[in-house]
Chain A
Amino acid sequence: MADATLEHAAVGHGAPGAYEAPLFGAYSKKVGMWLFLASDSLTFGALLFAFSYNRIYTDWPTPFHVASITNATIMTACLLSSSLTMVLGVFAAQRGDRAWTRNWLLATMAFGTAFIVLHGMEWTKLIGEGLALPGFPRPAGAATGELAEVSKNTPQFAATFFGLTAMHMLHVTIGVIYLGVVALRKLFLPILGAIWLAGFLLIPSDNVFHYGIHVLLIGLVLATVILFLKPKDYDAHDVEVSGLYWHFVDLVWMFIFPLVYLMSTRIS
């Protein structure tokens, strides 16, 4: 089996001396993750370019107020704390402390989930106030007010806001599922399934997340496939690699928060 081949071939997994020293002294999975992050930063880079391009050529509104900023600051704090717990998780894994690895990963997931929930509530509030894309389901009652005006006059504002933050939210969601698979393995599948079902049933159908929650269903299918096709115990390397991903997602937010929120705020 080629997989068995890989076990021997992959640097750091046996057959020492048969290969040239890896160029960056890293084992394949870690190199792979770094490369993925390189390409992903260009994917985000393109979105940020689209954002800046629109911003430069448009009379950009600054409709956000204290409430939004407070909320986004709490979200930022969640992500920052999650990076700390992630680091602690990686340390625990390197010490071989399985219990604390799991605990710290669960804490990271909790912060990540808090971020997503806060973000979702923020979206819902903004959409209710009229900041929406034409393709979104319309909540009951026509919104009036500044955000509704902004959507009408500068469609780029809502488009870039939702485009960038949705892409980031998707990454955080993938991150939570990824950590869940590493920390809990098959135990995570029923939990994920339950969250999806509860979300789908509880979120009203005029809310975008009624549909958006299906990302979890896709994640559930993928996680199931991975966990059943290649059942394995995740080691310290796997935890470290998942940590790379998590910190990257955190880092991206550190660009989005000032660009999308702080720079679109009016202090009255």
Chain B
Amino acid sequence: MATPVSVHAHAAPQGFIRKYIFSLDHKVIGIQYFFLALTAVFVGMFLSLLMRIHMIWPTAVLPIVGEIKPEQYLSLLTMHGTIMVFFVLTTAPQGGFGNYVLPIQIGAPDMAFPVLNMLSFWTTFVGFIVIIAAFFVTGGAPLHGWTGYPPLSAVQSAGPGEGLGADLWITSIAIFCIASLMGALNFITTTLDLRAKGMSLMRMPLTVWSWFITAILGLLAFGVLLSAGILLLLDRNMGTSFYVPLINVNGVMMGHKGGSPLLWQHLFWFFGHPEVYIAILPGMGVTSQVLSTFSRKPIFGYKAMVYAMLAIGFFGFMVWGHHMFMSGMSPYSAFAFSILTMCIGVPSAIKTFNWLGTMWKGHIRFDTPMLYAIGFVSLFVSGGLSGPFLAQPVLDIQLHDTYFVVGHFHLIMGVAAIFGIFAATYYWFPKMFGRMMNETWGRIHFFITLAGTYAIFMPMHYLGMAGQTRRYSQFTEVAYQTKLIPLQTFMTYAAIITIAAQFIFVINLFWSMFKGPKASDNPWEATTLEWTTTTPPPHDNFGGVTPVVHHGPYEYGVPGAPRDYVMQNDPATYAAH
């Protein structure tokens, strides 16, 4: 088929340790990232289960964990948020699937810097161990939420968990920053320098574009968080006052003076808003890829998709102030941030309509990856529609720090990104492990998860408008909120069912890894380069040849072609369409 340009074939490394533990192969590293994130997501999910249980049965004595105290609720919340945002949503889509698929999709034998790639995985791993350690030190895990606002996060005596636990939390974040920077650098260099002949920028699959743009965001955002974290460590341990004003804790003066908690908010959200796009962009890429493949149609508006992602990345750095409307910022700044935030709605809408346009009149195949991609679009719209509300300073002053925000970001960032991960898992699993996952259980998993997600997070908007505050668990004792207890109970039951349904997924995953039917090289009849090589791919991805690319990534239904799809490395030209 292809006109191969041959380079040397390479022997794979021998020995268990070099092959599976300290491997330099991007495919092994991608799978390592994937399993790290899988572990992390179960930890995070377990914590959220405890939180939901504590909310409606505050005095229940649970097996193993015992009775949860109100301050422990805050520890659970902090660790839930941090683990989910960093070690799941940043780790699985980029580190996991990006690592595995990006080099293959551009026709490269590996990442540009394999050693750096290995280091970034193991650094992430250390970061995960450090944050988990925060549970087990005296005082336990910190209370300050995933946003780590000072003064609470900057003063050792501010509460249980704000001692060693908080130091470990910050250290873990700093380690994670360094790991992500190494990863981002590698992704960008690989995309710039290692594209196979013919793989021009505008022939790259949208997944590659999304990982590439995500890496640029990471490269620019994580350095800022790193600095912010270092300053926070200095405040906590060297007595500086970057973030801490004159303050007393329980009547004791803290010796700090003149600092500003708002400095942290600026630095944190300068990182924090791009971070939400770091979480969601790869999901957008996967959704585009899957929708096109399973609708048997070219993606609608390929270039618009690329420019929309670039615009989202660009504007993403200019809207951090929308998290700070309550900080007493000048109305003029608030106005500017508000307008810029709403600007992001435009490329987001373009993407949504293009996804719908892709499915329009397609010959849709409803396999599990497709279901998850459609689910992604649904969640993205549901969560995105509340964005423009929050972008209004006048409304945000009412809604900020209520459950409305929790509903918004869980739908759009949390679960939408998770649906992207699921779509990617069901889609690439055959390539990664050489076997198919079980369709029936995949569908059951999908429908329970979709219904459960809406049941848990949709009512949150209502709760928020009814005055339920965020990061507070004792509402059973607040008179005006007791009327909401039935709704809360419903959400907790929904959470229990949804969490239970995730075991369907893991069992399906592990069972299929060993017992699933063998997968062919191209089970989905897709066009991109990872489907042109064997399943699973050889050590250097293409068995000693470098593919040559002749087509765009989504040529489905091309007139005159023998099949309804044209692989990217197919040398024949067909009538233009």
Chain B 244-286 interface 0/1 with A at a Cβ cutoff of 8 Å (1 = within) = 0000000000011111100100110010000000000000000
**Is A24 a contact partner of B192 (Cβ separation < 8 A)?**
yes
B188: nearest residue on chain A (CB-CB)? A35
A32 and B188 CA atoms in complex are apart in Å by 8
Interface centre among A14, A28, A133 (most CB of B within 10 A): A28
Task: Please name all residues of chain A whose beta carbon is closer than 8 Å to the beta carbon of B199 when the two chains form the complex.
Answer: 20
Asked if B8 CB lies within 8 Å of chain A CBs, one says yes
Cβ 8 A contact of A17, one of B5, B194, B238, B258: B5
A40 and B177 CA atoms in complex are apart in Å by 12
Distance from B383 Cβ to chain A, minimum over Cβ atoms (Å):
28
Asked if B210 CB lies within 8 Å of chain A CBs, one says no
Distance from A68 Cβ to chain B, minimum over Cβ atoms (Å):
21
Chain A 1-36 interface 0/1 with B at a Cβ cutoff of 8 Å (1 = within) = 111111011110011011110111011100110011
Chosen A-B contacts, 27 in total, with CB atoms closer than 8 Å, are A2-B24, A2-B114, A4-B8, A5-B109, A5-B114, A6-B112, A9-B7, A9-B110, A9-B194, A11-B193, A14-B7, A17-B5, A19-B197, A20-B198, A23-B192, A32-B116, A35-B189, A36-B185, A39-B219, A45-B223, A46-B223, A46-B224, A46-B227, A47-B227, A135-B237, A155-B256, A230-B115
Cβ 8 A contact of A134, one of B189, B255, B260: B255
B-to-A contact residues, CB < 8 Å? 5, 7-8, 10-11, 13, 24-25, 108-110, 112-116, 181, 184-186, 188-189, 192-201, 219-224, 226-228, 230-231, 234, 237-242, 255-260, 263, 266-267, 270, 540, 546
Distance from A181 Cβ to chain B, minimum over Cβ atoms (Å):
15
A230 and B7 CA atoms in complex are apart in Å by 23
**Is B193 a contact partner of A23 (Cβ separation < 8 A)?**
yes
Asked if A43 CB lies within 8 Å of chain B CBs, one says yes
A48: nearest residue on chain B (CB-CB)? B227
**Is A50 a contact partner of B231 (Cβ separation < 8 A)?**
yes
Asked if A144 CB lies within 8 Å of chain B CBs, one says no
**Is A8 a contact partner of B196 (Cβ separation < 8 A)?**
no
Q: A43-B227, A50-B267 are in contact. Are A57 and B24 (CB under 8 A)?
A: no
Task: Please name all residues of chain B whose beta carbon is closer than 8 Å to the beta carbon of A134 when the two chains form the complex.
Answer: 238-240, 255
A228 and B184 CA atoms in complex are apart in Å by 27
Chain A 149-160 interface 0/1 with B at a Cβ cutoff of 8 Å (1 = within) = 000001110110
Task: Please name all residues of chain A whose beta carbon is closer than 8 Å to the beta carbon of B259 when the two chains form the complex.
Answer: 54, 155-156
Task: Please name all residues of chain B whose beta carbon is closer than 8 Å to the beta carbon of A42 when the two chains form the complex.
Answer: 220-221, 223-224
**Is A15 a contact partner of B198 (Cβ separation < 8 A)?**
no
A264 and B226 CA atoms in complex are apart in Å by 27
Task: Please name all residues of chain B whose beta carbon is closer than 8 Å to the beta carbon of A39 when the two chains form the complex.
Answer: 181, 184-185, 219-220, 222-223
Chain A 57-82 interface 0/1 with B at a Cβ cutoff of 8 Å (1 = within) = 11000000000000000000000000
Which secondary structure dominates where chain A touches chain B?
helix
Cβ 8 A contact of B234, one of A5, A6, A163: A163
A135: nearest residue on chain B (CB-CB)? B238
Cβ 8 A contact of A159, one of B200, B220, B234: B234
A28 and B11 CA atoms in complex are apart in Å by 23
Distance from A223 Cβ to chain B, minimum over Cβ atoms (Å):
15
A66 and B24 CA atoms in complex are apart in Å by 54
Q: 15 more A-B contacts (CB under 8 A) besides A136-B238, A155-B241, A159-B234?
A: A6-B112, A8-B7, A10-B193, A20-B200, A22-B192, A28-B193, A35-B184, A39-B222, A39-B223, A43-B224, A49-B267, A133-B240, A155-B258, A159-B242, A230-B115
A15 and B221 CA atoms in complex are apart in Å by 35
A6 and B190 CA atoms in complex are apart in Å by 11
Interface centre among B24, B189, B193, B194 (most CB of A within 10 A): B193
B199: nearest residue on chain A (CB-CB)? A20
Interface centre among A6, A20, A26, A159 (most CB of B within 10 A): A20
**Is A163 a contact partner of B240 (Cβ separation < 8 A)?**
yes
A46 and B546 CA atoms in complex are apart in Å by 42
A180 and B392 CA atoms in complex are apart in Å by 55
